[in-house]
Amino acid sequence: MPFFTDQNSEAPQAASWPQWLEEARLDDGLAAQAYEDTPAQWRAAIKTGLALAHMHFGSDPGRMWDMRSDGHLGFWRRDESHAAPWAIVAFTPAYAAAARLAAACIPAILAGVPLIGAVCVGGQPHRSALVSLELSGVEDIFVLDAPGLHKLLEENRPGPGRLVLLHTGGLAPNVELARSMGLPCWQEYHSPKLALVEADTPVNGQNPADNGSRIDLEALYFAQAEALDTATSITARMSAGGTNATPTPLAWDAQPPDALYLASGDHERADILHGKAFSASGPGLTLTPGCEGFWLHPGLTPDFFRVRCLTFGML
């Protein structure tokens, strides 16, 4: 079965913002001031989260195509993919979750999207959002009203690009607009449910808090904002015995959380708790101390920001 893959970073067609959008560009000085006013350890948490995203997703594959043929079956297939020409991440002035905003931008960056814009709809962005965008490397930040965003989506060419919405209902009309335009759209329309987990026994006879390996709640609040206000606290009951400890499966009061944060411990404790304590129906994301600034939006990966075309034929 012959196989050929080619990579070329050249974009099919350069995209650009419409000229009128420049009037809505946010003053760069506001982001710079917000950055300077933010504690260094909070900024470091987001930087660590971005580094984790690079590790998890990998780097930009560029423009790719491969050709496969099967003489026995009598078919050939060409598979071509490249980054979408542009992407818009729209959010509201109240959106303050720095880690989740960064997690909405970094997949587009890693997919190689050449033109990425952040649009705050209805007012100036929260200071935490500005710091997140500054750290993520998103330079095009605009402030528009709802009709302005609609106009931008309708006029931006070439298309289709990609649209990401971060809101709690205020940006819902854009979902239907995107659907009518054939514009792929992903949205976060409610805050994630978080849980802070603490084991009630030491690992190998040592309390993880003794070595300073505890979650930074201030950095976590900067990362998750309002989601931390409603986070639940869970105690994982474990028998003594180090790596052989047997945790009691957790019983969820209702729907399981979207993510677990281990209040203390390292990868050993994470393996014990996540590998044994939680059922297959439990949350799919567990984060240990040091990962406060990292987040993964379900289904929002670099693949969402890439355009793929398949062609089939007979030999």
Q: Encoding tokens for residue 204?
A: 């190998």
Three-class SS of 248-274:
CCCCCCCCCCCEEEECECCHHHHHHHH
Higher pLDDT, 271 or 188: 188
Burial of 193 (0-12, 13-18, 19+ CB in 10 A): middle
Task: Please give the torsion angle defined by the CA atoms of residues 248, 227, 137 and 30, in that order, rounded to the nearest 10 degrees.
Answer: -150
One DSSP character per residue, 43-95 reads HHHHHHHHHHHHHHH-----EEEEEEEETTTTEEEEEEEEE-S-EEEEE-TT-
The chain-wide mean pLDDT, for the chain, equals: 85
Per-residue pLDDT of 242-293, as tens digits, reads 444 444 545 555 678 999 998 876 556 666 565 545 555 667 898 999 999 9
**For residue 210, what are the contacts with CB-CB under 8 A and spacing of at least 6?**
none
Tracing tokens 């007979």 back to the chain, one arrives at: 314
Q: What are phi and psi of 129, to 5 degrees?
A: -65, -40
pLDDT of residue 263: 83
Fold of 3-191+297-314: Rossmann fold (3.40.50)
> Domain limits of the chain?
3-191+297-314, 194-287
Task: Round to whole Å and give the CA distance between 114 and 127.
Answer: 25
Residue 66 CA to residue 102 CA, distance in Å, equals: 32
Q: What is the pLDDT of residues 130-186, one digit of tens each?
A: 999 999 999 999 999 999 999 999 999 877 899 999 999 999 999 999 999 999 999
pLDDT digits (tens, 9 = 90+) for 71-125: 888 888 888 888 999 999 999 999 999 999 999 999 999 999 999 999 999 999 9
Q: Which residues, listed in sequence order, are joined to residue 182 by a DSSP beta bridge?
A: none
